[in-house]
């Protein structure tokens, strides 16, 4: 089964647009230098994020959880001219390298990269967001959603990563971390402020469109 899944994933990557050279570099260096490189969005999910961003054509994007900046640059591809992307991460050890990636991109002047606790930083940023991508501390996903849903206009998107949790959401006796993911999914499924679906991409991407 795993062999088939790997072959299918390779086929998906083969049939979508290729990564640019900077994204290839970020992926390569992430796998060389990071202890948990699987946290990288990767080629296919990156193209999904880019496509969704281009469909929304956001003027303002908020990303919670920068990691090494791969998803950030994919999301930035859909920014309107003069648009701005705020991205927040807690890991200051990566700051210099990740900022270097942004500075090397054509979106460098449009990315506002901040280090610190996202719960505090989002209160320091005024205004709304046409697109929000939440890919950080899973225990706080519902908190982030509730804090931001009213700052997203009708037609805007909120994306939440890792909502299938390696398939553990189907476990009969889930662990505490999985219970949080299940609680999030069930709460969002009932929320009438948004249209919603989960894309079974990698570890599950919840796509929520503000009504």
Residue 133 pLDDT level (bands cut at 50, 70, 90)? very high
- 48-73 pLDDT, tens digit each: 999 999 999 999 999 999 999 999 99
Share of the chain above pLDDT 90, in %: 89
Superfamily in which the 2-152 domain is placed by CATH: Vaccinia Virus protein VP39 (3.40.50.150)
> What is the mean pLDDT of the segment spanning 23-50?
95
More confident residue, 62 or 175: 62
For 195-206, the pLDDT digits (tens) are 999 999 989 999
The separation between the first and the last C-alpha atoms of the chain, rounded to the nearest angstrom, is 39
Name the pLDDT band for 1 (thresholds 50, 70, 90): very low
Read off the pLDDT of each residue in 152-170 and give the average, rounded to a whole number.
Answer: 95
The answer on pLDDT for 110 being more than 90 is yes
């Amino acid at each position: 089964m795993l062999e088939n899944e790997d072959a299918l994933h390779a086929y998906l990557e083969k049939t979508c647009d290729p990564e640019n050279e900077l994204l290839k570099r970020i992926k390569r260096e992430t796998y060389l230098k990071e202890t948990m490189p699987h946290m990288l969005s990767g080629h296919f999910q990156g193209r999904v994020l880019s496509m969704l961003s281009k469909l929304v054509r956001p003027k303002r994007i908020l990303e919670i959880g920068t990691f090494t900046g791969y998803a950030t640059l994919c999301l930035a591809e859909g920014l309107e001219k003069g648009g701005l992307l705020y991205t927040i991460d807690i890991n200051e050890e990566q700051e210099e390298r990740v900022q270097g990636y942004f500075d090397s991109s054509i979106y460098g002047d449009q990315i506002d990269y901040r280090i610190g606790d996202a719960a505090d930083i989002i209160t320091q940023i005024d205004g709304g967001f046409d697109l929000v991508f939440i890919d950080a501390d899973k225990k706080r996903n519902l908190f982030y959603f509730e804090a931001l849903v009213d700052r997203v206009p009708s037609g805007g998107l909120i994306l939440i990563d890792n909502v299938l949790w390696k398939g553990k959401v189907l476990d009969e006796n889930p662990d505490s971390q999985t219970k949080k993911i299940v609680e999030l999914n069930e709460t969002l499924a009932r929320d009438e402020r948004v249209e919603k679906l989960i894309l079974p991409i990698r570890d599950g991407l919840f796509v929520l469109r503000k009504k």
